[in-house]
C-alpha cells in the first residue's frame, strides 16, 4: 500500500528541531519539484499525485537528561549519549528516519541501521563567543573559557596557555545563558549550530581551521534510516549531496583511525576542488600539536584519510624519539 507519510525522529533541542525542520523542508520541496516533472518515475511506495506528509517526533536521549560533565558519565561515550534512544525507536519501526549532527554520531552503526544521506554542510569552523566582545588574543590573563571538548581545550591552550578552561554542558541556549550570567568569560561553540538557530550575531570570532581544527564531520547533517527500508533509502537520494558525502567518508575514516571521540584531541577538515580532495588533520600528542595536510583523488576519500593519518603518526613517532 502506498503512503506518503513519514515520521522523522529528533532530539527536542532548538538546534535539533531546526535541523529536522530543514530536512523536512528539503524533502518536501525536492519531491514536489520532481513529481511535477513528466519524466519523473514514481518512487516505489509513494503516491506521485500527492505531496509528502512529514511529522517530527521528539525523542529524549540520555544526553538530554544527564547534564553532568561527560567524563563523569560511566559506561558510555559522549557520542552514544545523543543517539541510542533514537536508534532504538527506528529499529522498532516507530520512526522512519532520524536527523543527526554527524560529529555526534558514533563510529559503529547498530546492525540494521544505515547512515544513508548527507544533504548539506554548514560552516565547519569553531567560534568564540565572549561576554565582553573581546577576541581570544584580547581576553585577560586567567579568563575562564567554557568547552566540553578535549580537542577544543587543547586548541585553546595552544593559542593561549594563560587562560583557564572550565567544562560546560547543555544546548546552545543553555550555554549562552551561562555565559551571560557570568559563569564564563567566553565559550567555544560550532558556527554551524549558531547559524542554524539564527544566533550568528552572537559570534565574536571565527577560528581559522588551520590553527583551530574543527571536529571531523562538523557542520554535516546525517540522516539515518533502516538498512532494509528501500522506500526511504530511495527517497533520501533526492536530497543527498555527493560532495558532502565524500567529505564525510574522508573525515570519518580519519576519526576512526584515531578512535576519535570528544575525549580524543583530533580535528579534521576537508575541501573539494575539481577532482582533488584536500584534507587537513590535527592530533595533539601529549601537549604537542601535530598538523598535516594531504591531497588525493575525490574518488578515494578513505585512502586520502589513511594517508593523512600515516603522516601524523610518523610525526608522532619522531616526537617519541626526542
> Going from the N-terminus, what domains does the chain have, and what CATH number goes with each?
1-120+218-240 (3.40.190.10), 126-206 (3.40.190.10), 242-322 (3.30.160.40)
Residue 75 in this model has a pLDDT that exceeds 80: no
- Angle (CA) 97-253-286 rounded to 5° is 120
Active site residues: 104
Q: Is the pLDDT of residue 66 over 80?
A: no
Given a cut of 90, whether residue 1 has pLDDT beyond it is no
Residue 123 confidence (pLDDT) above 50: yes
Residue 82 has pLDDT above 50, yes or no: yes
Query: In sequence order, which ranges of 160-288 are alpha helices (DSSP H)?
Result: 172-180, 191-196, 230-236, 242-257
* Predicted local confidence at residue 73, as pLDDT: 46
Reported as a single tens digit per residue, the pLDDT across 238-263 is 999 999 999 999 999 999 998 755 56
Strand order in the sheet with 266-273: 266-273, 276-285, 288-297
Question: What does the pLDDT read at residue 80?
Answer: 62
Please name which of 220, 249, 241 lies closest in space to residue 308, comparing C-alpha atoms.
Answer: 249
When pLDDT is cut at 50, 70 and 90, the band that residue 107 belongs to is confident
Comparing 66-75, 121-130, 200-209, 281-290, the range with the smallest average pLDDT is 66-75
CA distance 242 to 118: 8
The average pLDDT across 63-71 equals: 57
Please say if the pLDDT value at position 81 is more than 80: no
Residue listed under C-alpha cell 529536522: 20
- 195: three-class secondary structure by DSSP: helix
Q: Angle, to 10 degrees, between the axis of helix 172-180 and the axis of helix 14-35? A: 140
The pLDDT value given to residue 63: 67
142-192 pLDDT tens trace = 999 999 999 999 999 999 999 999 999 889 999 999 999 999 999 999 999
Residue 294: band (very low, low, confident or very high) from pLDDT cuts 50, 70, 90: very high
pLDDT at 209 over 90: yes
Task: Please tell me the predicted confidence (pLDDT) of residue 10.
Answer: 96
Within 10 angstroms of residue 137's Cβ, the number of other Cβ atoms is 8
Pairing outcome for strands 97-101 and 221-226: antiparallel
- To the nearest whole number, what is the mean pLDDT of the chain? 92
pLDDT of 265 > 70? The answer is: yes
User: Is it the case that residue 225 has pLDDT exceeding 70?
Assistant: yes
Which is higher by pLDDT, 259 or 138?
138
Amino acid at each position: 500500500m502506498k503512503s506518503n507519510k513519514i515520521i522523522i525522529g529528533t532530539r527536542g533541542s532548538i538546534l535539533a528541531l531546526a535541523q529536522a525542520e530543514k530536512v523536512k523542508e528539503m524533502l518536501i520541496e525536492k519531491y514536489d519539484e520532481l513529481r511535477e516533472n513528466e519524466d519523473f518515475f514514481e518512487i516505489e511506495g509513494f503516491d506521485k499525485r500527492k505531496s509528502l506528509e512529514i511529522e517530527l517526533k521528539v525523542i529524549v536521549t540520555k544526553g538530554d537528561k544527564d547534564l553532568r560533565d561527560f567524563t563523569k558519565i560511566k559506561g558510555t561515550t559522549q557520542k552514544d549519549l545523543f543517539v541510542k534512544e533514537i536508534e532504538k525507536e527506528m529499529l522498532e519501526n516507530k520512526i522512519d528516519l532520524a536527523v543527526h549532527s554527524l560529529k555526534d554520531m558514533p563510529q559503529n552503526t547498530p546492525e540494521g541501521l544505515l547512515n544513508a544521506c548527507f544533504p548539506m554542510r554548514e560552516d565547519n569552523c569553531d567560534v568564540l563567543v565572549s561576554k565582553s566582545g573581546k577576541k581570544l588574543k584580547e581576553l585577560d590573563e586567567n579568563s575562564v573559557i567554557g568547552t566540553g571538548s578535549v580537542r577544543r581545550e587543547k586548541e585553546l591552550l595552544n593559542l593561549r596557555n594563560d587562560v583557564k578552561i572550565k567544562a560546560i554542558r547543555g544546548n546552545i541556549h543553555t550555554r549562552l545563558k551561562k555565559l551571560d550570567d557570568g559563569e564564563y568569560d567566553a565559550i567555544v561553540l560550532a558556527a554551524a549550530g549558531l547559524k542554524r538557530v539564527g544566533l550568528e550575531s552572537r559570534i565574536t570570532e571565527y577560528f581559522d581551521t588551520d590553527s583551530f581544527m574543527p571536529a571531523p564531520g562538523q557542520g554535516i547533517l546525517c540522516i539515518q534510516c533502516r538498512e532494509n527500508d528501500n522506500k526511504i533509502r530511495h527517497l533520501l537520494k533526492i536530497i543527498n549531496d555527493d560532495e558532502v558525502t565524500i567529505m564525510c567518508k574522508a573525515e570519518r575514516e580519519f576519526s576512526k583511525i584515531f578512535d576519535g571521540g570528544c575525549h580524543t584531541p583530533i580535528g579534521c577538515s576537508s575541501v573539494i576542488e575539481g577532482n582533488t580532495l584536500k584534507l587537513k588533520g590535527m592530533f595533539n600528542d601529549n601537549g604537542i600539536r601535530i598538523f598535516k595536510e594531504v591531497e588525493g583523488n575525490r574518488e578515494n576519500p578513505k585512502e586520502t584519510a589513511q594517508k593523512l593519518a600515516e603522516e601524523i603518526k610518523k610525526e608522532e613517532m619522531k616526537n617519541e624519539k626526542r
